[in-house]
């Protein structure tokens, strides 16, 4: 009898807690949906926006997750789409997107960097030795390696664009003793049969800060070729 009285006294409390949980979940969905809408409004150009779709009430939470992901991806894509179109003959030069632009900026940074005589020659040698050994089993030749203070650029040349396309990734994938992040972007397509010269960029700030210890993998040099 006593516990029934106690139970009935706690009834409204449980109702309040359940109502609070329900309201909380609704609020989080509502706030998230508003943020998604705001992201979309910020990112998408008005004329290219697809028409808003009506979502059945039962699908709202699943659709919210989809919307959140889509909104982020759309924002990234719209940033890329806002880049000018690739250059055509006579047209203005194209501004390459993201990674390519960063690569070109780092190449310019390299050119502006002074050479540190305590670090550059040794790192030059580490990179060039490996590249020349790779060249022996490839079709490219090493034009030169130029290390400065924390950036290095290796110029390599292939006899044709198809050879360059087939082999350049191997140069990026190779595990160099100078264990630095490295990037290569091939220049715009040359005429078939014309040589292609490309730059392999090494960004060695962290490796240098860690002491420039050569990275060795016991039998890395025996990679299948």
Partner 1 sequence: MTKRIVLAFSVSLAMSATIGYAGLSRALPNDVRAPGWACTVTNGGTEGQFVNQGNQSTNSTLQVACPIPDVYNGVQGISTVQVAILDNSTTASASASLCVSLLTGGTSCGAAATVPAFVTGFYTVNPPTFADWTAPNFGYALVTLPRRIAGSPSTTVQGTHSF
Applying CB under 8 A, the residues found at the interface with partner 1 are 9, 12-13, 16-25, 27-29, 31-32, 35, 64-65, 68-69, 72-73, 76, 80, 96-100, 102-103, 168-170, 172-175, 179-186, 203, 206-207, 215, 217-220, 222-225
> Which residue, 103 or 125, has its beta carbon nearer to partner 1?
103
Distance CA 199, CA 185 (A): 7
CB of 34 to partner 1, least distance (A): 11
Tokens at 7, concatenated: 């139970």
Query: 């004329």: which residue's tokens?
Result: 47
CB of 199 to partner 1, least distance (A): 11
> Which residue, 102 or 141, has its beta carbon nearer to partner 1?
102
Q: Tell which residue, 175, 191, 194, 184, has the closest CA to residue 155.
A: 184
> Which residue, 1 or 13, has its beta carbon nearer to partner 1?
13
Query: 């002491």: which residue's tokens?
Result: 211
Q: Tell which residue, 78, 11, 12, has the closest CA to residue 46.
A: 78
> Which CA distances in Å does 147 have to 18, 34, 184?
66, 50, 16
CB of 17 to partner 1, least distance (A): 5
- Residue 195 contacts residue 157 (beta carbons within 8 Å): yes
> Which residue, 101 or 132, has its beta carbon nearer to partner 1?
101
CB of 50 to partner 1, least distance (A): 20
CB of 135 to partner 1, least distance (A): 14
> Which residue, 51 or 173, has its beta carbon nearer to partner 1?
173
- Residue 187 contacts residue 197 (beta carbons within 8 Å): yes
> Which residue, 142 or 186, has its beta carbon nearer to partner 1?
186
CB of 80 to partner 1, least distance (A): 6
Query: 């943020």: which residue's tokens?
Result: 35
- Residue 160 contacts residue 194 (beta carbons within 8 Å): yes
């Amino acid at each position: 009898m006593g516990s029934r009285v106690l139970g009935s006294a706690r009834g409204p409390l449980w109702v309040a807690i359940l109502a609070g949980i329900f309201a909380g979940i609704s609020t989080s969905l509502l706030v998230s949906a508003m943020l998604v809408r705001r992201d979309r409004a910020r990112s998408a150009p008005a004329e290219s926006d697809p028409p808003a779709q009506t979502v059945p009430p039962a699908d709202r939470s699943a659709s919210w997750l989809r919307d959140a992901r889509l909104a982020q991806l759309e924002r990234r894509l719209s940033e890329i789409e806002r880049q000018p179109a690739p250059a055509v003959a006579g047209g203005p030069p194209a501004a390459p997107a993201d990674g390519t632009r960063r690569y070109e900026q780092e190449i310019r940074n390299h050119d502006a960097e002074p050479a540190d005589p305590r670090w550059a020659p040794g790192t030059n040698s580490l990179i060039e030795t490996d590249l020349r050994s790779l060249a022996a089993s490839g079709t490219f030749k090493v034009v030169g390696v130029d290390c400065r203070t924390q950036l290095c650029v290796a110029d390599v040349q292939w006899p044709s664009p198809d050879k360059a396309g087939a082999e350049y990734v191997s140069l990026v994938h190779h595990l160099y003793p100078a264990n630095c992040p490295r990037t290569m972007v091939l220049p715009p397509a040359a005429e078939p049969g014309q040589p292609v010269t490309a730059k392999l960029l090494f960004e060695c700030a962290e490796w240098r800060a860690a002491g420039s210890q050569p990275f060795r993998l016991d039998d890395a040099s025996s990679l299948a070729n």
